[in-house]
Structure 1
Amino acid sequence: MTTVINRQRNGRSSFSQWANKHRKWVLAAPAMLFVALLIAFPVGWTLYLSFTDASGSVRAPADFIGLENYASVLTDTDRFWPAVGRTVLFTGGALLFEMILGMCIALLLWRPFRGEKWVRIAILLPLVATPVAVGMMWRLIFDPQMGFANQLLSWFGLPPQPWLSGQESALTTLIFVDIWQWTPMVVLILLAGLTSLSDEPDEASRVDGANAWQRFWYITFPLVMPTFITAILLRGIDALKTFDILYATKGKGGGSFNEVETLNVYAYGLSFDYNKYGQSSTVLILFFMMIIGCIWLLTARKKRSES
């Protein structure tokens, strides 16, 4: 009896020692498991649907058809590949200007100045509104008949523009709207990275006679590069999956001629407008793989910059 009790005590002691040694994993395990299940089930179910001909009703029986959906989607040059191009163009255009403007504004806010608090509050105002509200607001501003944008052009003697109603200008206009709303988020991230930097390298470069551009390009920017890549990663993923602004301003199909139809809008239309759940799931899986690839590339670049 004493031997059994001693073994139980030794077992509890060894488990306590192991748990104490790996306490950060033990304490985080329930939350990690819960998040993993939340991610694994939707992705797994979507992957399963992508191999079926599910359509019509969510309760209708679906047959396994293998890679037919993937072959059909990947050979669709009318809707899928143009949607891929618009997704890349929207994300790349918005991200490029947001990173440049975000860095410039963050550098201006880096050093203390009078009224700094009020300027920061004003810059962060676009983040307060929801994307749908922002989309509706800019839809009114860019209205060809009564919008303020064309009225402003008329004051300078310029002809009115179609803005959101034009096939060529709609996507560019929405890129501008995205830049207006989400540049403040980039500013916050980069400003946090800049404020964490030491002043010694900058002061040493001043002593050596470096001008402002040389100090930024050779001192500040390399030091803030990990934060810069983090901002690209966070904002890039968010821009890739933009849906609400596009749908709020252009409606179904990204407009009458699909002029702003990205992969998100395309997948939404397949699922909720045409009830083609199998093809919609295929588009979402391909889109998911694209996002994972972008994350992998940016994470690898960040590790190289930190090493």
Structure 2
Amino acid sequence: MTARSTDTTQRGSAGKGPKKTGWQAYSDWANDHRKWLFAAPAMVFVGILIVFPLAWTLYLSLTDASGSVRAESDFIGLENYTEVLTDTQRFWPAVGRTFYFTIGALAIQMVLGMCIALLLWRPFKGEKFVRVVILLPLVATPVAVGMMWRLILDPNIGFANQLLGFFGLPGQPWLSSPETALTTLLFVDVWQWTPMVVLILLAGLTSLSDEPDEAARIDGATAWQRFWYVTLPLMMPTVIVAVLLRGIDALKTFDILYATKGKGGGSFNEVETLNIYAYGLSFDYMDYGVASAVLILFFMIIVACMWLVTFRRKGNK
């Protein structure tokens, strides 16, 4: 063996070092996986908080539980799901109202949010004051917002009809009419939650580089062309995040609807969404088995909507 090969072998053996055992080996392993070890307690805690309620609700949905969750109940399989899915009087209309409210509110909030975010994108005089004013609706709780708008839209003493009367226009039923109640509450939701969309989109706009917009400006592109072909494609990841957050939140809206219309979503169930329907089954009729089946189906709808949005995002890449 040559001196060079002997030297290489010795250096290789020295580099490996003695095999670590016991506490030192565990310490090195923990150091290599420290990000998972630090996050593990929180992940386990959140996992339990999610898995246990879902598993319990799924179990109740397969029983005839009613009156009290502690009372004895019998396993009835999918009978609750069959009853719910064949209910054309309450369940399917509630599904329709839920999607009408969610899609309508989300569409308006995204358009308004993008317009306001674009206006706030560039510095201007009084920018800080305008941003504070725009964020004011987020300060109040949804129940307080619902009660406030209930007073404003009251057909007799409400400010809204008084304002219409000042301009010579007839008063509107707003929340008291089954035809206008859900649409009115849709715009109340838009009023409160559009600032959240503005915050998300404005954060995305401020993170964009100015170079693509300047290049398009030099090439003679108009303001609309720069927005449609340059800014909006670059903003799509942020837009998808805003759609996911607000879409899921709008799907499960409860407080504003219940604070303004009460049990059953009104006398004619005019604003009864899936959340209101499940709440009534649970706390008004105490039919926990059917209510749990509604909630499981509602959960599946939310998961399906999230999957569709994320799948479309991946498909566009």
Output the TM-score relative to the length of structure 1.
0.95
Q: Residue 80 of structure 2 aligns to which amino acid in structure 1?
A: N
Query: Given the alignment, which residue of 32, 36, 45 partners 2:43?
Result: 32
Mapped to 2, the partners of 1:268 and 1:12 lie a distance apart of: 54
Counterparts of 1:81-120 in structure 2, within 5 Å, are 81-120=92-131
Mapped to 1, the partners of 2:26 and 2:290 lie a distance apart of: 50
Q: Residue 164 of structure 1 aligns to which amino acid in structure 2?
A: L
Query: Given the alignment, which residue of 229, 234, 245 partners 1:234?
Result: 245
Q: Cα deviation per residue 1:244-274 (whole Å; 9 max; x = unaligned)?
A: 0000000000000000000000000000000
Question: What is the Cα deviation at residue 94 of structure 1?
Answer: 0.3
Q: Cα deviation per residue 1:1-45 (whole Å; 9 max; x = unaligned)?
A: xxxxx99x5143333333222221121111100000011111110
Q: Cα deviation per residue 1:130-172 (whole Å; 9 max; x = unaligned)?
A: 0000000000011011111111111222111100000000000
Q: Which runs of 5+ in 1 are unaligned?
A: 1-5
**Is it true that 1:12 corresponds to 2:30 in the alignment?**
no
RMSD of aligned residue pairs (Cα, Å): 1.2
Query: Given the alignment, which residue of 156, 162, 167 partners 2:173?
Result: 162
Q: Cα deviation per residue 1:81-129 (whole Å; 9 max; x = unaligned)?
A: 0000000000000000000000000000000000000000000000000
Query: Given the alignment, which residue of 121, 146, 149 partners 1:138?
Result: 149
Moved more, 144-153 or 102-111: 144-153
Mapped to 2, the partners of 1:25 and 1:208 lie a distance apart of: 49
- What residue is the counterpart of 1:215 in the other structure? 226
- What residue is the counterpart of 1:256 in the other structure? 267
Q: Residue 254 of structure 1 aligns to which amino acid in structure 2?
A: G
Q: Which runs of 5+ in 2 are unaligned?
A: 1-17
Mapped to 2, the partners of 1:261 and 1:109 lie a distance apart of: 37
Counterparts of 1:49-64 in structure 2, within 5 Å, are 49-64=60-75
Q: CA 1:167 to 1:107, structure 2 compared with 1: closer, same or farther past 3 Å? A: same
Mapped to 2, the partners of 1:288 and 1:20 lie a distance apart of: 39
**Is it true that 1:291 corresponds to 2:315 in the alignment?**
no
Secondary structure of 1:59's counterpart equals coil
Question: What is the Cα deviation at residue 300 of structure 1?
Answer: 2.2
Q: What is the number of residues matched between the two proteins? A: 300
Q: CA 1:12 to 1:304, structure 2 compared with 1: closer, same or farther past 3 Å? A: farther
Which is greater in Rg? 2
Question: What is the Cα deviation at residue 48 of structure 1?
Answer: 0.3
Secondary structure of 1:10's counterpart equals coil
**Is it true that 1:176 corresponds to 2:187 in the alignment?**
yes
Mapped to 1, the partners of 2:78 and 2:234 lie a distance apart of: 47
Mapped to 2, the partners of 1:296 and 1:25 lie a distance apart of: 26
Moved more, 106-115 or 146-155: 146-155
Output the TM-score relative to the length of structure 2.
0.92
Q: CA 1:21 to 1:301, structure 2 compared with 1: closer, same or farther past 3 Å? A: farther
Question: What is the Cα deviation at residue 60 of structure 1?
Answer: 1.1
Q: Residue 308 of structure 2 aligns to which amino acid in structure 1?
A: L
Mapped to 2, the partners of 1:242 and 1:11 lie a distance apart of: 54
- What residue is the counterpart of 2:54 in the other structure? 43
Question: What is the Cα deviation at residue 298 of structure 1?
Answer: 1.5
Whether contact under 8 Å (1:230, 1:302) holds in the other structure is no
Whether contact under 8 Å (1:73, 1:282) holds in the other structure is yes
Q: Residue 96 of structure 1 aligns to which amino acid in structure 2?
A: A
Whether contact under 8 Å (1:270, 1:277) holds in the other structure is yes
Q: Residue 280 of structure 2 aligns to which amino acid in structure 1?
A: G
Mapped to 1, the partners of 2:33 and 2:172 lie a distance apart of: 63
Mapped to 2, the partners of 1:127 and 1:159 lie a distance apart of: 31
**Is it true that 1:273 corresponds to 2:252 in the alignment?**
no
